[in-house]
Every structure is written in structure tokens, then in C-alpha cells.
Amino acid sequence: MVTIDNISEGRGAETADSSARQDNAASCSNSHPLEITTEDPVDGSTDMSLADGAQSSGNGHNLAGLTNHVVNTLREWYVLASDSIADILEGRLIQQPSKDVWLLGRHYEAARFEQNDASQGWMDKYPPGFVEDFSRLIWCTYRSHYPPIAPSAFTTDAGWGCMLRAGQTLLAQALQLHHFGRNWDFSWESSRDEDKRRSRQYVGIVKQFFDDYSGTSIFSIHRMSSIGKKFEGKDIGQWFGPHGTASIIRKLAQEAKHELNVYTTTDGVVYLADICADEFQPTLILVTSMLGIDRVNPVYYPFIQASLTLPQSAGIAGGKPSSALYFAGFQGDELFYLDPHYTRQAVIHRNDDAYTAADLATYSCSTPRRIPLGRLDPCMVFGYYCDTLASLIDLRSRIDLLADDGMKTLLTFDNGHSPDTAAVRVETDVGTSIQPDGPSKSVAAISTDAQTHDDAMSLELLPQSDSDSSGIAVSEGSGCSVEHRSEGSEIVLEEGNASEEEWVTDM
């Protein structure tokens, strides 16, 4: 199984040229979004040189860096101009009261500032700690000058890989949640063992998105494009949609036997029997949804916002028409996003694996950008990370409560297997039997004879989502062990019992 320790320690097939190391520029500029500077508005630096091996690679890299700088600057001006015009047309330039901020399940109370205090910058309008938290999001963008994506000659994904990059960004946040929890801050310069451990883990996460075919680059643009061509029928260089991106992430995780299980659904139904077939594995649930025709139906606005307040939220990969974006939070009716449409040179593998904050600076951004809900494209992927069975049950309970309050939700839970699951193999005292799936809404029970086996068990799946979800008690442990009381009934899943059955599912 691929784990972060394997990656961060550099094990696996990996090639590097330590003499060709990039001098990655700093993260996004903190200048006002309408303030034009001579710096790269994305990288915050005019230095396009390389730190090591600049003379050997010479003018080619400098020219590439200058080209990216110009293109990124033009992109930035275009975004600022178009957003400003849209704000004027929508009457959004009127000063609005300060509102609370949410970022991936974390709440920041509205910042208090004096309206007439000219000494306060525009970033001070955000609550304390929010910008720092936002800057710790891993940001995947277009890259250039990486090895060609076989069998094509593409050495950049600029112009076609934005949704794949948005999917990478969502997955990167899920991996941070997996390894750090929600408190993922650390100091690169600290000598504390905990900070050193976290910095190694952070490097291990980012390396999974490096742009090559090395063994540690599990979710590289190269592998995503190749899987898309094989299973989605997309030629390399074609634009991918949210559904295809979610399917690619799931397939790559399966092939790598990744420590993170990836579950996808296109109809909004999460089949619990598919997720909890044996011992529970930390799971990223990807829900692909179409929330309108040309624009998002306003009836779904509350759920989009509520989704980003959930502690399980890993964000949303969506965008505006023809431009993919990654959404991580909101303030009022505007979503905070990371934009993948900026081209940076690919980061080169290092033999010693000793990356610094400067080496990976282009994977972070400290300038929050916002987009109104009314400008969103209706097709998007919602991500939810559940590290334990308790977290999965908590997610279900929270979604049920939203639905009970009258909110139009996109997510429901079913106790059975998905229709795509071919069969469930159950070992009994008689032998092995293959049982096709029953109706998806049934509350099935699979049991062995308690009088025949001393270790016999009784396994009943949880009640359906439309049942009363109050009174849930979840025991600790990695096995599927849950006690759920609902409307006078009592259903018990004893710890470790699930592993005594051999369930074979076609995920």
C-alpha cells in the first residue's frame, strides 16, 4: 500500500536531476486585487532565474519563466477587469457589512474594523487567522516544461487541464485532512520534531502531484491524462469534466492501493455497504452533481454553502462556465476559490528529497479570491473526507438534519450495495454462496448461525437516511462498529465482526 511515509522518504521509482532545481517564486501577492504592480500577480516575484544549474539550462528556462510571467499577468488583469465589470453591473461595489467566513468546516467570526480607517488594508477586512489558513491550502495549477505525456508531445497542460488541476487541489486538501487533521500549520524553519515530521508529510503530499511518471507521482497530470484516455476515451489535450475527473482520481487510487479510499457517486446516493465492506478505511467521497442548466439553480445555494461548513468538507471542484475552479469556503453569497489557470514551471525531483518552503511556494496562495454563487457553472464535484466510521455516520446525520430543515440537499445514504456492484460473497457454514444485490433500498441482514459457530455474528446495516438519525453512538476503532438507535429499534454492529465476512465488491 502506498503511504505518505513511503513517499516522503523517497522510496519507489523516482528519478531526479539535482543540478536542475528550480527557484520557485513566492506565493500570491498580497496587494489589493485592483492594484497593478510590476511583480507577477501570482508568483509575487520578477526574478525568473533558476537557483541551481541556471547557467547550464540557461536562456531556455529564463525565457520560459518570462513567458509564464507575461501570460499570468495578462490572465490576472483579465480576471480583475471582468470581475470588476460584473460587480458594477450587479451593484456589488456598495460597501457591504462584514460577514462571517467559513473555510473547509472552520468558522471565522466577522472582522471588526473602522470604515474610515485608511491605515487598514483590504486584507484586514478578513477575520484574524483566515488568510493564514487559506494560504495553507495546496494549490495545483497549470505546469510547463515537464516530460512529455506519452504518447503525445504535450509538455504543458495550459488550456486543457484546469479541471484535472481542480480535482488535484480537492484531493490535496483531503490528504492534508488525512495526515494533519484540520490543524495543518507547521513551521519549515522550526527544529521541533513535530514540525519536521509535518514538513516531511507535506512534501510527501505535494510530491504525489508532481508532473512526471515517477513512482511517487501517483496523481500526476501524466497519469490522470493516461487513465482518462484509457477509461474515459479522452485524448490527451482534451478538456475533462467533473465526472471524468472524479473517476480518474478513484481509478488511480485503486491502482496504487492508496491509503485513502476514494468513493464516487453520480446520483448523489452513497451506498454504505460499498464503503464499509470490511474494516473501514479512511474515505474521500466524491459526489458529482449537475445543479442546473446554464447556471446553478438558486435552490441549491444554501446546500453549497452548508457543505463547506461541514467538518468533513474537502472542498468543491467546479468553476464558472468554461473555467474550472476549486472552492474552499464562503463569505455571504460569495465563494472563496483557487484558480488553476496560472502556468508555472514544473518542480524537479531532488535526490535528497530535502525540499524547502521556497521550492514548493508555487503550491500555495495567500490572496483569497471570491466569486458570487450566481456566476457558478452548475456541474461540480463535492468532496467529503471521513477518517473514521464515526465521521461517516456524523456526515450522514448532518446531511439528514439539513434535509429535515427543508434544505434541498444533493446527498443521501443507502444501506445496500450500488446497482453496479455485481455480487456479494458470503462465507457460511455450508460453503461459499454468491448472492446478487437485492433492492437498493432494502435494509439487508447477513448473518451466520450463532448455534453453529462460537464466533458467529449478526450484521445488520444501518437504517435509511429518511429515518430518525437522533441517538447515534459510535464506538472507537477502525472496524465497522456502530450502535444506532432509531424509533425504538436497536441495531448493533460489533467491533471487528465485519472482517469475519468476506465481501467481494466491484468498486
Q: Looking at the annotation, which residues are catalytic?
A: 162, 339, 341
C-alpha closest to that of 402 among 295, 312, 483, 275: 312
Cell reading at 3 = 503511504
Q: Which residues contact 451 (CB under 8 A, 6 or more apart)?
A: none
CA dihedral 492, 494, 499, 502 (to 10 degrees): -30
Radius of gyration of the chain (CA): 24
Pairing of strands 143-144, 344-345: parallel
Give the position of cell 458467529.
Answer: 456
398 phi and psi, to 5 degrees?
A: -65, -40
> What's the count of helices (H) and strands (E) in the chain, helices before strands?
11, 20
Question: CA-based angle 475:388:105, to the nearest 5?
Answer: 115
Q: How far apart are CA 48 and CA 70, in angstroms?
A: 11
Question: How far apart, in Å, are the Cα atoms of 109 and each of 106, 181, 324, 338?
Answer: 10, 21, 29, 22
Q: How far apart are CA 139 and CA 132, in angstroms?
A: 14
C-alpha closest to that of 278 among 427, 137, 110: 427
Cell reading at 178 = 488525512
> Which contiguous run of DSSP H or E holds residue 79?
helix 59-89
Report whether 381 contacts 316 (CB < 8 A): yes
C-alpha 416, offset from chain centre: 26
CB burial class (10 A; 0-12, 13-18, 19+) of residue 80?
middle
Q: How far apart are CA 377 and CA 269, in angstroms?
A: 22
Residue 147 amino acid letter: P
Q: Which residues contact 465 (CB under 8 A, 6 or more apart)?
A: 396, 399, 400, 403, 412, 413, 414
